[in-house]
C-alpha cells in the first residue's frame, strides 16, 4: 500500500470515528444526517470503517475512564495519536469539530488510540525492530532459569518458549506458550512488559507469574505492582480498546480471548507458581487449559477429540501432581463428561463419555 493509500485509509477511519461520536450525541440535524448517509454509501470502505467505529464505541461505553490506557501497553500508540491529531490541527480542533458532544477529550483519546491500535496488539515496538530477539525454550518436563542483560531473572516452566527483546528504553518478553516467573530488576526508565497473545502485563521492579496455555492467560503477583491489560470484548470479539487492572501482592487475574479480563482475585502466597514444585492448580479452568498444561509434562501426548462439543463451557477448580499424569486423567471423568481412550499407542485421546 502506498503512502497516499495509507493516508486515505487513515482519513476514512477518523471520519468514521467522528461520525460515530456525533451521532451518539443525538443532535444531528436532518441535513447533517443526509450528509452522513451520502458519505456512508459513497465508498464500501466507509461502511466498514463505521462498523468498526461502532464496535469501539460500544467497548468505550463499557469502561470506566480509569480503566483505559492503551498507550501504556503499546508504546507506539502515543506517537500514532499525535500523528492523527496533527492531521486535524490538534485535539482542540477536534472538540470544535463536534467531538465534545459525546464525552469530551476522553472520547477523542479513546477513539484515536483505538484507531492507532486497530491492526491488533502483538507486533514489537518500532524501536525494538532493529534489536536482536533472543529465543529461549524448554523441553517437556524441563525447567530453566535465565538471567537477562538487565539482571532480571526468568524461571521457565516445561515446554515453554519466550522471545526477549531489549532496547535502550524498553524490555519486552513475548511468552509464546508455557509458564514463567519474572523477577524484574528495577529500572524506571525501561518498563518491563510481558505479552501473551493479546494480554499484556507491565511492571518495573516486581515478581510475578504468567501462564499461557489452552487459550487462557493467568497472572499472579508475588511482589510489587503489575498492570494487566487486554482488549475489551464486544460480541465475543476483542475491540481496539484495552481494559486494564492494577494488581498488587497476593492478587491474580485471568484473560480469555473471547471473554476479556476476569475480576481480580486474591490467592494464597504458598500457591504462587506452584508448577515449580510440580503442583498444578486451577480455579475456573476449562479442560483445554488443563490438558495443555499436562502435555508440558506428559511422555505421551494427550489430545481432545475434535467432536467433543460443549465441554469448554464447564469450568472447574482442580489440582494435580505433574508427576502423576495417569492420576490426573483418571480424575477427569468425575469433572467433565468425558472418557479416556488409551487404545492408540501414539496418543491418549479424551472423548465424549
Judged against a pLDDT cut of 90, whether residue 290 lies above it is answered with: yes
Beta strands in the chain (DSSP E): 134-137, 144-147, 153-156, 161-166, 171-183, 192-196, 199-203, 207-213, 216-223, 225-234, 237-248, 251-256, 260-261, 265-266, 279-285, 302-304, 316-321, 338-341, 348-352
pLDDT band at 42 (very low <50, low <70, confident <90, very high): confident
Tallying the residues shown for the chain, one arrives at 353
- Round to whole Å and give the CA distance between 341 and 352: 10
Judged against a pLDDT cut of 50, whether residue 97 lies above it is answered with: no
Give the pLDDT score at 232.
Answer: 78
Whole-number Cα distances in Å, 294 to 21, 178, 344: 48, 11, 18
Strands 171-183 and 161-166 turn out to be antiparallel
Judged against a pLDDT cut of 70, whether residue 50 lies above it is answered with: yes
- Round to whole Å and give the CA distance between 290 and 32: 55
Give the pLDDT score at 206.
Answer: 95
- Round to whole Å and give the CA distance between 276 and 316: 22
Its pTM surpasses 0.85 = no
Give the pLDDT score at 138.
Answer: 97
Nearest alpha-carbon partner for 238 in 216, 255, 253, 260: 260
Give the pLDDT score at 347.
Answer: 95
The three grid cell numbers given for residue 119, joined into one nine-digit string: 491492526
Give the pLDDT score at 45.
Answer: 86
Q: Among 55-64, 106-115, 189-198, 332-341, name the one with the lowest average pLDDT.
A: 106-115
Judged against a pLDDT cut of 50, whether residue 293 lies above it is answered with: yes
Give the pLDDT score at 132.
Answer: 72
Q: pLDDT (tens digit, 9 = 90+) per residue, 255-264?
A: 998 888 999 9
Judged against a pLDDT cut of 50, whether residue 348 lies above it is answered with: yes
Most confident of 12-21, 123-132, 188-197, 236-245: 188-197
Q: Among 152-161, 228-237, 274-283, 340-349, name the one with the lowest average pLDDT.
A: 228-237
Q: pLDDT (tens digit, 9 = 90+) per residue, 106-120?
A: 444 444 444 443 333
Judged against a pLDDT cut of 50, whether residue 351 lies above it is answered with: yes
Q: Are 111 and 21 in contact (CB under 8 A)?
A: yes
Give the pLDDT score at 44.
Answer: 85
Give the pLDDT score at 38.
Answer: 86
Measured from the Cβ of residue 143, the count of other Cβ atoms closer than 10 Å reads 16
Mean pLDDT, residues 215-234: 91
Tell me what the pLDDT averaged over the chain comes to.
78
Which residue's entry shows cell 465475543?
236
Whole-number Cα distances in Å, 34 to 15, 26, 101: 15, 14, 19
Whole-number Cα distances in Å, 272 to 117, 265, 277: 33, 13, 10
Strands 225-234 and 237-248 turn out to be antiparallel
Amino acid at each position: 500500500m502506498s503512502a497516499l493509500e495509507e493516508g486515505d485509509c487513515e482519513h476514512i477511519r477518523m471520519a468514521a470515528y467522528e461520525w460515530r461520536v456525533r451521532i451518539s450525541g443525538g443532535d444531528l440535524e436532518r441535513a447533517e444526517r443526509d450528509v452522513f448517509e451520502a458519505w456512508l454509501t459513497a465508498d464500501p470502505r466507509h461502511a466498514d470503517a463505521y462498523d468498526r467505529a461502532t464496535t469501539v464505541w460500544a467497548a468505550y461505553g463499557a469502561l470506566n475512564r480509569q480503566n483505559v490506557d492503551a498507550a501504556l501497553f503499546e508504546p507506539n500508540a502515543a506517537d500514532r495519536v499525535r500523528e492523527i491529531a496533527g492531521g486535524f490541527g490538534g485535539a482542540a480542533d477536534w472538540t470544535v469539530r463536534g467531538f465534545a458532544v459525546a464525552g469530551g477529550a476522553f472520547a477523542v483519546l479513546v477513539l484515536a488510540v483505538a484507531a492507532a491500535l486497530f491492526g491488533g496488539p502483538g507486533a514489537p515496538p518500532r524501536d525494538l525492530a532493529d534489536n536482536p530477539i533472543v529465543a529461549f525454550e524448554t523441553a517437556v518436563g524441563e525447567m530453566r532459569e535465565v538471567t537477562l542483560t538487565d539482571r532480571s531473572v526468568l524461571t521457565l516452566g516445561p515446554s515453554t518458549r519466550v522471545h526477549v527483546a531489549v532496547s535502550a528504553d524498553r524490555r519486552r518478553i513475548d511468552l509464546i506458550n508455557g509458564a514463567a516467573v519474572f523477577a524484574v530488576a528495577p529500572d524506571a526508565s525501561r518498563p518491563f512488559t510481558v505479552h501473551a497473545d493479546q494480554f499484556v502485563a507491565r511492571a518495573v521492579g516486581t515478581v510475578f507469574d504468567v501462564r499461557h496455555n489452552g487459550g487462557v492467560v493467568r497472572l499472579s503477583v508475588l511482589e510489587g505492582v503489575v498492570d494487566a491489560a487486554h482488549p475489551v470484548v464486544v460480541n465475543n470479539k476483542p475491540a481496539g480498546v484495552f481494559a486494564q487492572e492494577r494488581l498488587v501482592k497476593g492478587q491474580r487475574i485471568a484473560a480469555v480471548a473471547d471473554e476479556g479480563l476476569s475480576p481480580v482475585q486474591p490467592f494464597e502466597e504458598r500457591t504462587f507458581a506452584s508448577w515449580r514444585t510440580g503442583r498444578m492448580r486451577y480455579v475456573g479452568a476449562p479442560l483445554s487449559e488443563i490438558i495443555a498444561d499436562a502435555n508440558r509434562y506428559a511422555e505421551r501426548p494427550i489430545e481432545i477429540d475434535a467432536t467433543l462439543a460443549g465441554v469448554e463451557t464447564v469450568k472447574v477448580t482442580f489440582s494435580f501432581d505433574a508427576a502423576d499424569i495417569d492420576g490426573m486423567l483418571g480424575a477427569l471423568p468425575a469433572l467433565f463428561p468425558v472418557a479416556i481412550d488409551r487404545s492408540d499407542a501414539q496418543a491418549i485421546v479424551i472423548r465424549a463419555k
